[in-house]
Amino acid sequence: MDSLKMFIDNQWVKGSSGETIQTKNPANMEVLAEFPRGSTEDIDKAVQAASEAFKSVEWREILPAERSRILLRIAGLIRENKDELAKLETLDMGKPLTQAYADVEVAARYFEYFGGAADKILGETIPINSEMLDYTVREPFGVTAHIVPWNYPLQMTARSVAPALAAGNTVVVKPAEDTSITTLKIAELIEQTDLPAGVFNVVTGYGHEAGDALSQHPDIDHITFTGSVPTGSAVMKNAAKHIKSLTLELGGKSPNIVFADADLEEAANWVVKTIIQNSGQTCTAGSRLLVEKSIKDKFLERVTEIMNEVTIGPGINDKQMGPVVSEKQMENLKKYMEVADEEGTEIIRGGKAREDMTSGLFFEPTLVIPKSKDSRLAQEELFGPVVAAFEFETIEEALELANSTEYGLVTGIWTSNINKALWLSQRVRSGQVFVNNYGAGGGVEMPFGGQGKSGFGREKGLESLKHYTQVKNVAIKISK
């Protein structure tokens, strides 16, 4: 077991309370490491370090091109350490090794992509009259807080930190208590670069302690949070106390809409892929399946066959699906299966934990047919490998079903008719729409975020830089 420390002002430090948290490998429940249980005092130290770094000449006067070179250096270090990072991500979170390697590459791409953009954050000139020069500049907010979820710790850290740094902010990261190891490893790599002290800080701890203290700290200028709706609401309330800006991504209940004229084999394979990736613990998971009535039985039969072939095992053995992250998450899934029974939901396949595995945290790929689109399994985010199926007869009915939840994150549309695809794309309430493909959140270059209770603001792509900068207008009178 490793004993880890927090990273504040380029120093590795213990928590002020002296208390620690243990993290376990969900595949066998062995303790992997312990790290500090961060407190309000630790958050204060990190925010102060970030605030002083933001005001320092060393960071404020750094050339944008130099910021770019530092971010590109971080990307290179991530790739150089890909084997260690992938293994740590797999052991800590439980996901298959192949998925962990993909996460490492995506993390590197975030620093690479935003490194390329750091010296291209531009303002505009605005025509007023011949006696006035009016222009805008985009300036960093200052100290940005990043509250990272447990399902993609490496990716999610990079996803928000890279654009924040590219824009010239300083950052404080609070990783999830279940999966903090790779975020601390990123700090170790950043320590090897020329990033000035205090620009990047990591405080570990529980969400209701360190996370809460960070989100309501008066010296934080912007908060990025990914997680549940109730916690997101609490973060918004904290931010409101000091009028701070927010980027929130709060999950989804995303549908795959399958028409009879689609490539049904391709669609069936992707329906399964989008629900077993990361054991369904993905905000963009395709957790609802809407199928045209004429092919429903045949299509569900094929989805079931593919689910039957899914290999399950410890992430380090690189099967198709690993365990869920924790006992808490497994208990949540079991409770939803009890709800399914109470609601009269038909369980086509799965619906229970595997009892023949190395721990009690392996859950079978599951296909269910709820009684109603208003049932809890149709409306609530389970965050597990469970997909709820429904039938439709008309495109209007498909749209009504797609828009029947409070979420609006991702939609997959499967059809060979481009008119159907465009008609639905225009009307579906969703931050991202995929036609005849389904990217789990999409690529680094693609703006990502939700509507409704899926949150607001955008991450990924150049669009995200707008959420880590604020516009200043300057008007200069020209005299003879």
Q: What is the pLDDT of residues 403-418, one digit of tens each?
A: 999 999 999 999 999 9
Give the pLDDT score at 442. 63
Q: What phi and psi, each to the nearest 5 degrees, are found at residue 248? A: -120, 130
Give the pLDDT score at 439. 82
User: Measured between alpha carbons, how far is 374 from 273 in angstroms, rounded to an integer?
Assistant: 25
Q: Which listed residue (249, 364, 391, 459) is catalytic?
A: 249
Two structure tokens written together for 291: 């199928």
Give the pLDDT score at 424. 98
User: Measured between alpha carbons, how far is 268 from 422 in angstroms, rounded to an integer?
Assistant: 21
* Cβ neighbours around 342 below 10 Å, total: 10
Q: Is the pLDDT of residue 68 over 90?
A: yes
Average pLDDT over residues 351-364: 96
- Catalytic site includes residue 381: no
Per-domain residue ranges for the chain? 2-249+455-474, 255-442
DSSP state of 130: T
Confidence of residue 2 (pLDDT cuts 50, 70, 90): confident
What share of the chain has pLDDT > 90, as a percent? 98
What share of the chain has pLDDT > 70, as a percent? 99
Two structure tokens written together for 83: 């084997």
203 φ/ψ sector (left φ>0, alpha ψ -120 to 50, else beta): beta
Q: For residues 428 and 454, is the Cβ–Cβ distance under 8 A?
A: no
Average pLDDT over residues 7-24: 97
Q: Is the pLDDT of residue 1 over 90?
A: no
Q: Which listed residue (283, 381, 391, 459) is catalytic?
A: 283
Torsion of CA 140, 145, 151, 152, to 10 degrees: 30
Q: Report whether CATH 3.90.1170.50 matches the domain 255-442.
A: no
Give the pLDDT score at 300. 98
Q: Is the pLDDT of residue 140 over 90?
A: yes
Which of 5, 12, 4 minimizes the C-alpha distance to 197?
Answer: 12
**pLDDT, tens digit (0-9, with 9 covering 90-100), for 186-238:** 999 999 999 999 999 999 999 999 999 999 999 999 999 999 999 999 999 99
User: Measured between alpha carbons, how far is 143 from 218 in angstroms, rounded to an integer?
Assistant: 10
Q: Which residues contact 389 (CB under 8 A, 6 or more apart)?
A: 288, 289, 290, 291, 296, 300, 303, 348, 367, 368, 369
Give the pLDDT score at 37. 98
Give the pLDDT score at 440. 55
Name the CATH architecture for the domain at 2-249+455-474.
3-Layer(aba) Sandwich (3.40)
- Catalytic site includes residue 283: yes
